[in-house]
């Protein structure tokens, strides 16, 4: 009886953790705006590398109406561990609205370089290179 209960508890925990990671990606830099936001993240599309690696872009709208910059996540997805944020930063409203592409490029070594704004209130950019 105890073995079954332990096994059942473990399975319920692992399934629950997997579902949690599908909604709240790993490697997230949390902020009060994200924790108390009722805005639904907006899908920004899927980008595929020449080798077949896929990443998904997600925009968060909290606070963007005043500044014009949207908080953006680039997510990698794994069948077992769920979603993981591989790069994050602020992108322009033209990117969010779809009138301009996200400045994202795949490098020869399989890494990914995305260009974000340094902060919500500046126009200085920074390149973020990661390996998803």
Inside any domain, residue 95: yes
Distances (CA, A) of 97 to 8, 45, 59, 80, 94: 45, 12, 10, 32, 5
* Dihedral of the alpha carbons of 130, 27, 60, 47, in degrees to the nearest 10: 40
- pLDDT, tens digit, for every residue of 58-68? 887 665 556 66
Query: pTM for this structure?
Result: 0.73
> Domain count of the chain?
1
Tokens of 80: 């077992």
- pLDDT, tens digit, for every residue of 20-65? 776 667 666 555 445 544 456 677 888 888 888 889 888 876 655 5
Inside any domain, residue 13: no
Q: What pLDDT is attached to residue 107?
A: 92
Q: What pLDDT is attached to residue 110?
A: 87
- Please state the rounded mean pLDDT for residues 87-104: 86
> Residue 78: what are its φ and ψ, rounded to 5°?
-120, 140
Domain enclosing residue 59, as ranges: 25-130
Question: Partners of 104 in the beta sheet?
Answer: 114
Inside any domain, residue 84: yes
């Amino acid at each position: 009886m105890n073995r079954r209960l332990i096994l059942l508890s473990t399975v319920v925990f692992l399934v629950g953790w997997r579902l949690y990671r599908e909604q709240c990606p790993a490697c997230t830099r949390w902020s009060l705006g994200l924790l108390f936001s009722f805005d639904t993240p907006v899908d920004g599309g899927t980008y595929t590398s020449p080798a077949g690696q896929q990443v998904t872009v997600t925009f968060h709208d909290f606070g963007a109406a005043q500044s014009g910059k949207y908080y953006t996540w680039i997510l990698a997805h794994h069948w077992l561990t769920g979603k993981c944020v591989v790069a994050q930063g602020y992108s322009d409203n033209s990117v969010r609205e779809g009138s301009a592409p996200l400045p994202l490029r795949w490098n020869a070594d399989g890494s990914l370089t995305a260009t974000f704004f340094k902060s919500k209130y500046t126009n200085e950019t920074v390149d973020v290179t990661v390996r998803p």
